[in-house]
Structures are given as C-alpha cells and as structure tokens.
Amino acid sequence: MKVPIVENVLKINDEMAAMNRRTLQDACVFTIDVIGAPGCGKTALIEATLAACRDDPTRFGVIVGDLATDRDATRLARQCQHVVQINTGKGCHLDANQVRQAVAQIELDAIDVLFIENVGNLICPVGFDLGQDVKVGVFCVAEGDDKAAKHPYLVQEADLLLLNKIDLLPHVPFDLEKLQADVERLNPGVDLLQVSVSDSGLEKWLPWLRDRIAAAISNRASIAQA
Ligand SMILES: Nc1nc2c(ncn2[C@@H]2O[C@H](COP(=O)(O)OP(=O)(O)OP(=O)(O)O)[C@@H](O)[C@H]2O)c(=O)[nH]1
Ligand SMILES: [Mg+2]
Ligand SMILES: [Zn+2]
C-alpha cells in the first residue's frame, strides 16, 4: 500500500510547514521559497538581490539547500550574516522539518525577509510546503523554452516566475513567446519577469520584491496592533 504512505509523509510535512508558517509570521519574517533547476541562477539571484538591497532597511536571512556542499552558503555569507546551509545528502528537495531545524538556528528578530534556496530541481520541491509566504519559480534561457510546459506544477504553484539569463537570448535558440504562452495557459495572470542576474538586469524583480516586502511588513504590523 504505497499511496497511503506517501499521503502520510505529505500530511506530516504539511503539519510541520504550518508550524513554520506560524513561527515565521509571529516573528514578522516574510519568507520566499526559490525553486528552479540546477544552475538556473538561484544563488546568483539571491546574491545580486542582497547586494542591490544593501542600503535598504530590510534585513535578510538565507537558508540554502544543497545535496553535498556549502559552496552556495559560502558565497551568500559574503553578503549576509544570517545564512544556514542544509545538506540533504541524497534528498532532492527541502522538507518542512529540515527548514524548521534551520530556522531554529537563525535569530528571527534580526531579519525581515528569509530566502530559502531550494535544492536545484523543478519537480518535488513544488510539492513540499515549507511554510513560506510565496514561491518564486526560476527558469533560465539556457534550459530551453519548453520547461514551463514540462513542469506545469511549478508554474501553477508559483506566485512569481522569473526567466533568468535573458542576456543569452541572442546566443541560443529560444522562443520567448512560446514560453510566455505556456505560462499564461497554465497560470493565467502570473507575472513572468525577464531578468539577467549576472548582468545587473534586476530592474523588474527588485520592485516586485520591495512591494511584497512592504505589503507584508505593513500587514503584519497592523495585525500586531489589532
Ligand atoms: N549568462 C548568465 N549566466 C548566469 C546568470 N545568472 C547566473 N548565471 C550563471 O549560471 C551559473 C549557475 O548559477 P547559480 O546561481 O550557481 O545557479 P543555482 O540555481 O544556484 O545552481 P544550484 O544551486 O546548483 O542548483 C553560474 O555560473 C552563474 O554565473 C545570468 O543572468 N546570465
Ligand atoms: Mg545555488
Ligand atoms: Zn525530491
């Protein structure tokens, strides 16, 4: 009886995710789960965001999931004091229990926004709630223009989609309109922002992020006052 076992795993994960969500919301921390294939630019996005927001009042923390190394955490620790690495071993996604343990190592009073860089994988990270406020899905031009159609669940679950490495468009065959049409069919109205993380091309992403952070902070402040 395999199906009940799988259901049970997800049920336990959902319960743990709900606890994470409460902990993070009580601490007024806005949490973003960043999901994308290996090498699409998740760490580069977070690094560039931290650098771009250096003079903002917002204080950031990062949890990084990786099978075997602490290389991403080391990169991010150059920009941010609150970085925790989760090594998943053979695990191909983060789960809520791992995030709970990582959150326990972060001084939540010292941050306003928590990025969670999920393990590079377009499939099962989508199904495991971590207690985040939003999911940001990252595709990149180098992966090919069929990835939205082939990974519909990420498109449907994402609050925002980024298409990274837009600087490579002149160099690789990639039908931008085809990807945009697939995204619109799967999740009508979701934003698909074109970015070029390693080329200072964050002008579409940063306003979205700053707006969402401001909304979350003012929303939580009014709940706290009520
Ligand atoms: N041309 C180009 N390269 C990029 C861009 N963003 C990231 N890269 C490069 O893509 C490679 C992978 O970037 P990472 O940020 O390590 O990717 P990741 O998604 O964190 O990868 P994993 O953690 O292994 O899943 C690096 O060599 C980056 O320099 C971009 O906008 N344009
Ligand atoms: Mg990475
Ligand atoms: Zn997995």
**In the structure, what pLDDT confidence band is assigned to residue 189 with cuts at 50, 70 and 90?**
very high
Length of the chain: 226
Q: Measure 65 CA to ligand 3 centroid, in angstroms.
A: 12
- Does ligand 1 have an atom closer than 6 angstroms to the CB of 198? yes
DSSP 99-134: HHHHHTTS-GGG-SEEEEE--S-SSGGGG---S-SE
Nearest to 103 by CA among 47, 50, 217, 24: 24
**Taking Cα atoms as reference points, which of 88, 61, 90 lies closest to residue 76?**
61
- Residue 107: is its pLDDT beyond 90? yes
The domain segmentation of the chain, as residue ranges, is 2-225
Whether the pLDDT of residue 88 is over 60: the answer is: yes
Output the CA 26–ligand 1 centroid distance in Å. Answer: 33
pTM of the model: 0.95
As residues whose CB is below 5 A from the ion ligand 2, the structure lists 42-43, 72
How far out from the chain centre does Cα 145 lie?
A: 21
Mean pLDDT over the full length of the chain? 94
For residue 40 and ligand 1, the question of a CB distance below 6 A is answered with yes
pLDDT at residue 3, rounded to an integer = 61
Pocket test for ligand 1, best of 83, 197, 204 (most atoms within 8 A of CB): 197
76-91 average pLDDT score: 94
- Ligand 1 pocket, residue 41 CB under 6 Å: yes
Residue 89 has pLDDT above 70, yes or no: yes
Is domain 2-225 annotated with CATH 2.60.120.380? no
99 and 114 in contact (C-beta within 8 Å)? no
Phi then psi dihedrals of residue 68, to 5 deg: -135, -15
So what's the pLDDT on residue 10? 87
d(CA 40, CA 11): 30
Q: What is the pLDDT of residue 199?
A: 78
Distance in angstroms (rounded) separating the CA atoms of residues 20 and 63: 13
Query: How close is the Cα of 11 to the center of ligand 1, in Å?
Result: 33
Q: Which residue has the higher pLDDT, 224 or 92?
A: 92
Asked if pLDDT for residue 198 goes beyond 90, the answer is no
- The predicted model gives 108-135 an average pLDDT of 97
Q: Which residues pair with 61 in a beta bridge?
A: 114
CA of residue 139 to ligand 3 center, whole Å = 18
